[in-house]
Chain A
Amino acid sequence: DVVMTQSPLSLPVALGQPASISCRSSQSLVYSDGNTYLDWFQQRPGQSPRRLIYKVSNRDSGVPDRFSGSGSGTDFTLKISRVEAEDVGVYYCMQGTHWPLITFGQGTRLEIK
């Protein structure tokens, strides 16, 4: 299976400051169709996961533009330009390239410093 490794696992950030989460895969996530199926999810306390970013860098509808995704091959990054209080939660990366062997990262807990 493809192993997804996130860092850091804990991320204290002051309000208004930027945040960055790394996700690395053990194999390339480039699919035979040329796309890279790497998603980012946010899970706020007590809620279901919500997708923020799909195919590396595409924001889902309703996702604030302070969230951005980048990367290629095996290295990916989720960035929050200015952290707000509502951003507290756990962030997961997920690869769909090797469906049905979908795998998630361990999660990164973002908290306000």
Chain B
Amino acid sequence: EVQLVESGGGLVQPGGSLRLSCSASGFAFSDYAMHWVRQAPAKGLEYISAINSDATTTYYADSVKGRFTISRDNSKNTLYLQMSSLRAEDTAVYYCVKIYDRGFDSWGQGTLLTVSS
């Protein structure tokens, strides 16, 4: 069974930094591209970042480009999202998502980031 477990969320002041992690199990992590999707309180889903299976290609939405960095450690089956220069509008639940055949087939339970002073 595919499991994706996010961690690292919390309360951060504006301008601060934080790193999210996603521990993957139940599938060959190194064979799949992975993604981060976020959801602000009572809002819809926003796709923010992607990384291919061998970490040679990354993608960022304009809303996070230059501030967030996606990475992965295939030896640890873990996906990361390093976030800096955080803003109030980054407050959201962050989901780690596995993609297969251009579809998001598995989602983690999410981790909440709150950016507030």
Could you tell me which A residues sit within 8 Å of B by CB distance? 31, 35, 37, 39, 41, 48-51, 54-55, 60, 90, 92, 94, 96-97, 99-107
Contact = CB atoms under 8 A, between A and B. Distances in A.
B103 A100 contact: no
B99 A96 contact: yes
Interface stretch (B7-15, B20-28, B105-113): B105-113
A94 B104 contact: yes
A39 B104 contact: yes
Interface of B: 35, 44-47, 50, 59, 95, 99, 101-105, 107-110
Given A48-B109, A49-B95, A104 B103 contact: no
A90 B105 CA distance: 17
Given A60-B105, A99-B102, A106-B44, 10 more contacts: A48-B109, A50-B107, A51-B105, A54-B101, A54-B103, A101-B59, A102-B50, A103-B47, A104-B47, A107-B44
Name A's interface SS: loop
A51 B104 contact: yes
A92 B47 contact: no
Q: Which 3 A-B pairs rank lowest in CB-CB distance, beginning with the nearest?
A: A96-B102, A100-B59, A37-B102
Nearest to B58: A100
Nearest to A55: B103
Given A49-B95, A49-B107, A100-B59, A92 B102 contact: no
